[in-house]
Amino acid sequence: MKAEPAAARDHRPIYIQVAESLRARILSGYYDDRLDGELKLVQEWKVSRRTIQQAIEILVDEGLLGRQQGAGTFINHRGVAKRYRAITSITDGIVAQGMRARYRILSSGLEPATPRGTEFFGLLAGDQVYAHRRLVLADDRPVAVVSTLLNPQVLDGLELSHLDKGLYSTLREHYGRTIVHAQDHYRPVIADAEIAGHLRLEPGTAIFFAQRRAVDQDGKPMELSDIAMIPVPLEIAISQVGADWIGKPPLTAEPWDYRVGFGDFGATP
């Protein structure tokens, strides 16, 4: 028996579904400044104008949209930046340090999903993933070998064999996907001969190894990356909340917060 389409199993009110789709577009940068007109949205979703208005009202209340009488509905970029912030990539870290990010593609294309990729992306046996591996340089200095797995079932027509800029900006600009949540795990490892060669280090040098699991604005598993980095100074910030005290600052969303940057790529190892 043919499986029922996912949309047909969604029993939420239509205006909620439309609001969710519009929210994803706004967060992914699909719209520059102005939302499509109500009539265009009515035609696209094949719903009533009132349904579109209800969906827009939700996003106005969330602070993602703003209305101007007689001018239309606009993206509230300040509200978007305040509520949803894209995750920093290694490219962002390099550029923020005043250096130029360059890349050398080592391999790029479809391959059978490993058990790790199958579990993370929720794939079936025999499905493929898109594997992209490249050497990242800060100015002309190799700083990292990044091996990334992506889900081609979500990224239609994915092709990165000639990618010459940041992966996150490409996912955002060409595929409407913005990485909004990531879990990173860092540990020191010993560079094998291949990684040491790419990073211009002696085999056996201690380097940092980071693993990243990231999802997009829809909560879809998007990126599974292994990052082998030169031994750079890492910036670590830890804040903890314990017992209350007189004059305490406002509590954060979590009892403790841990952040680590990609490091100072301009430093000498």
Task: Per residue of the chain (269 residues), give pLDDT as tens.
Answer: 333 333 445 577 899 889 888 887 887 677 888 998 999 999 988 999 999 999 999 999 988 999 887 788 999 988 877 666 667 788 888 887 888 999 999 999 999 999 999 999 999 988 999 999 999 999 999 999 999 999 988 888 899 999 888 898 888 878 878 887 888 888 999 999 999 999 999 999 999 999 999 988 778 899 999 999 998 877 666 555 554 444 545 544 455 555 667 778 877 65
CATH tag, 90-234: 3.40.1410.10
User: What is the predicted pLDDT for the residue at 255?
Assistant: 52
pLDDT digits (tens, 9 = 90+) for 210-220: 999 998 877 88
Q: What is the pTM of this model?
A: 0.69
pLDDT digits (tens, 9 = 90+) for 25-57: 887 677 888 998 999 999 988 999 999 999 999
What values do phi and psi take at 238, rounded to 5? -130, 125
Q: Residue 1: which H helix or E strand, with range? A: none
Q: Considering Cα of 116, then 134, then 186, then 255, what sign does the dihedral take?
A: negative
**What is the 8-class DSSP label of residue 128?**
E
Assign a CATH topology to domain 7-83.
Arc Repressor Mutant, subunit A (1.10.10)
**What is the 8-class DSSP label of residue 182?**
E
Per-domain boundaries in the chain? 7-83, 90-234
